[in-house]
Amino acid sequence: MSLRIWIWLVSLSVLWGGSFFFAKVAVAELRPLTVVFGRVALAAFALNLSLWLTGQSLFRRETPWATFMIMGLLNNLIPFGLIFWGQTQIASGLASILNATTPLFTLVVAHLATRDEKMNAAKPAALLIGFAGVTVLVGPDLLFGDLLGSMGQLACLGAAFSYALAGVYGRRFQAMAVSPLQAASGQVTASTLLILPIMLIVDRPWLLPAVPGATTWAALAGLALLSTALAYVLYFRILAVAGATNLLLVTFLIPVTAILLGALILGEQLQLRHFAGMILIGLALAAIDGRMARFRRLAE
């Protein structure tokens, strides 16, 4: 990859890694579903404005709203809700490590649901290593009775599984001739319509004990405009230029940003087993990616 693409890739990892930091700040004063609504609604406004400025629009007769609704449910509403609730119980850095299991779940979902993305002989070993890392992360809390901490971690794993379903389902956009910007705009617009009544019923934000401060609103804006709208545009640009395999590298980098922001700004501390689990998950991702094996063959 060229230096320009590497810069894009690192920038995307910072934007997505920063989402865990922004969310942790926002859920301190706002309820999780309210944060989900704020994230997708602001992102929908920004992306639809981008469409309008380029002479495009979602509001046409042929717009595949049913597909956007399903994609929004799997790629936004469910995972955002689970992660934001999970972050009320666990550190943002730990949430980002658990989110890095998404490619592991994607491997399983793609094997079961597609004909052209079956696992080869090497992939089951990668899965075993990855889920060993998950066991290191979650196991002690399950064994020693930290119920809320365990539920927070399991919620983040549920989000990773939902992202995997979305990744496989989203393959249909290419066959439907939906542009990347339209796909991004469509799913967050659909997510906004889906989450609004749920948020009003469950969170009832008008009953908050106090009006959130400027820091919370700034975090919500960063989450929506930087970590969602801008990140999606950058994501689809990298996907088009560098391909899905190179894009997988961002999964390695996201926890670095999240852990650094959590430690330096929020004062979070992770335990040694959290880093051990992250290493195991990283090894599994490297095996799935295949890059290390190619380097080894070149060296020989």
CA 142 from centroid of its chain's CA atoms: 24
Check pLDDT > 60 for residue 8.
yes
HSE-up (13 A, CA, CB side) for residue 292: 11
pLDDT at 24: 94
Continuous H helices in 27-101: 32-53, 65-72, 78-86, 92-99
Looking at the chain, the whole-number percentage of residues with pLDDT higher than 90 is 40
Q: Are 261 and 21 in contact (CB under 8 A)?
A: yes
Residue range 6-28: mean pLDDT, rounded: 92
Check pLDDT > 90 for residue 149.
no
Q: Distance (Å, rounded) from C-alpha 106 to C-alpha 162? A: 9
pLDDT at 246: 66
Residue range 50-73: mean pLDDT, rounded: 87
Confidence label for 250 from pLDDT (cuts 50, 70 and 90):
confident
Q: Residue 276 contacts by C-beta under 8 Å, 6 or more apart in sequence?
A: 133, 136
User: What's the token pair of residue 126?
Assistant: 């990668």
More confident residue, 300 or 18: 18
Q: Is 131 exposed, middle or buried (0-12, 13-18, 19+ CB in 10 A)?
A: middle
This prediction has a pTM of 0.88
Q: Distance (Å, rounded) from C-alpha 169 to C-alpha 163? A: 10
pLDDT at 295: 53
Residue range 131-137: mean pLDDT, rounded: 88
Q: Distance (Å, rounded) from C-alpha 79 to C-alpha 263? A: 24
CA nearest to 33, candidates 166, 198, 190? 198
Residue range 62-81: mean pLDDT, rounded: 91
Query: What is the amino acid identity at position 34?
Result: T
Looking at the chain, the whole-number percentage of residues with pLDDT higher than 70 is 93
More confident residue, 114 or 200: 200
Check pLDDT > 60 for residue 293.
no
Q: What's the pLDDT tens digit per position in 35-55?
A: 999 999 999 999 999 899 988
Check pLDDT > 60 for residue 298.
no
Domain range list for the chain = 3-299
pLDDT at 300: 55
Query: What is the amino acid identity at position 164?
Result: A
Helix (H, G, I), strand (E, B) or coil at 152: helix
In terms of residues, how long is the chain?
300
Q: Residue 148 contacts by C-beta under 8 Å, 6 or more apart in sequence?
A: 89
Q: Are 156 and 90 in contact (CB under 8 A)?
A: yes
Other C-beta atoms lying within 10 Å of the C-beta of residue 171: 13
Q: What's the pLDDT tens digit per position in 255-274?
A: 888 999 999 999 988 888 88
User: What's the token pair of residue 287?
Assistant: 């095996």
Q: What is the dihedral of CA 113, 114, 119, 123, to 10 degrees?
A: -60
